[in-house]
Amino acid sequence: MPIFDISGDTLSAVEQQNFDVEKDLQSLIEKNLATVFNCRFVASEFSTGAQHAGRIDSLALSEEDNPVIIEYKKVESSELINQSLYYLNWIQDHKGDVEIAVQRRLGNDV
């Protein structure tokens, strides 16, 4: 779906920009989390530990201080839903790990 710029009663299509690598998009979003998602940045490439051997692309906190996981994909993937459910379960089982990361990054701002 296209995005439009509004000027008075006129709409102009905004030119879409593709990213060559996911990391470029990730960096841009992480620098602008408050603007884009109204979230606070916690960590980039957050490790799920040696046993699970995963990495959450971007970890953030919502306005309500709930964990937010952002995964970046250059192409559509049917694995995204499975990956998302895995991270949801991981966060439920590892709340302490997330809380430590939040305290390290945000301190008493939580």
Q: Looking at residue 61, what is its pLDDT?
A: 95
Q: Is residue 8 part of a domain?
A: no
Query: Quick check: 61 and 46 in contact, CB under 8 A?
Result: no
Q: Is residue 105 part of a domain?
A: yes
User: How, if at all, do strands 40-47 and 4-7 pair?
Assistant: unpaired
Single pTM value for the model: 0.82
User: How, if at all, do strands 55-61 and 67-70 pair?
Assistant: antiparallel
Domain encompassing residue 81? 21-109
Q: Looking at residue 35, what is its pLDDT?
A: 97
Pick from 7, 51, 1, 57: nearest CA to 33:
57
Q: Token pair for residue 59?
A: 């970890």
Across the chain, what does the average pLDDT equal?
90
Average pLDDT over residues 38-43: 96
**Alpha-carbon span 109 to 103, nearest angstrom:** 8
Q: Is residue 64 part of a domain?
A: yes
For residue 34, give the amino acid letter: A
Q: Is residue 72 part of a domain?
A: yes
Q: Looking at residue 110, what is its pLDDT?
A: 64
Q: Is residue 15 part of a domain?
A: no
The domain tally of the chain equals: 1
Q: Is residue 55 part of a domain?
A: yes
Q: Is residue 4 part of a domain?
A: no
Q: Token pair for residue 76?
A: 């559509």
Counting residues of the chain whose pLDDT is more than 90, the rounded percentage is 58
Q: Is residue 2 part of a domain?
A: no
